Amino acid sequence: YGDYSQKIDYVFKVVLIGDSAVGKTQLLARFSRNEFSLDSKATIGVEFQTKTLIIDNKTVKAQIWDTAGQERGRLIVIAYIKAFVGRRILYRAVTSAYYRGAVGAMLVYDMTKRQSFDHMVRWLEELRGHADQNIVIMLIGNKCDLGSLRAVPMEDAEEFAQRENLFFMETSALESTNVETCFLTILTEIYRIHA
């Protein structure tokens, strides 16, 4: 905080998307503060965290946005309903604002919940409908510490990622597995494209 002497070469906005409870908030907490909580409260609205890192001798500030997934539209509608704004128009406006300027996206599912993986198609559709064309996308199967409860075979995710041209990794925010690696991978690729 308040260290204005540090020169930032690039700021990259990355958005986290996926169903609620897949672990988006904990992935972000692990990456930005090396923290984890087992009883994390649902994210209300939108928040972001930043982390500054060095890539190729340049200072890169990652600004990572987290949201309450499907609750997003609903919450905002409640907030604005007094203003008599149409639900659809509002949903689009908020969604667009969330994706605006994003150069990377992490599509997160819970590898113990098949449905959260099946919904990736829809999330990808929303993403492609709103985000920049050359946004870098990474598919993330979180909670790999719960291996015995696996409901999504790695091959299914790999095949989907290959077909849709996404990076893919399995992570555990709980055990810190691949968390740093997946953020570094996406940020390095973004750097390669935009720097």
Pair of tokens at residue 76: 């905002």
Pair of tokens at residue 75: 């919450």
Give yes or no for residue 143 binding ligand GDP (CB under 6 A). yes
* 154 CB-side CA count, 13 A: 7
Binding mask 4-33 for ligand GDP (x = CB under 6 A): ----------------xxxxxxx-------
Nearer to ligand GDP, 105 or 174 (CB): 174
- Alpha helices by DSSP H, listed for the chain, are 24-33, 71-80, 87-99, 114-118, 120-130, 154-164, 179-194
Nearer to ligand GDP, 20 or 185 (CB): 20
- Smallest separation, CB 134 to ligand GDP (Å): 26
168 near 153, Cβ under 8 Å?
no
Give yes or no for residue 174 binding ligand GDP (CB under 6 A). yes
Nearer to ligand GDP, 60 or 66 (CB): 66
> Out of 31, 119, 142, 182, which residue is the one contacting ligand GDP (CB under 6 A)?
142
Pair of tokens at residue 106: 């992490």
Sequence-ordered list of residues with C-beta below 8 angstroms from that of 29, at least 6 positions apart, any chain: 35, 36, 37, 40, 49, 173
Q: Give the interface size with ligand GDP as a residue count (CB under 6 A).
A: 20
Binding site for ligand GDP (CB under 6 A): 20-26, 37-40, 42-43, 142-143, 145-146, 172-174
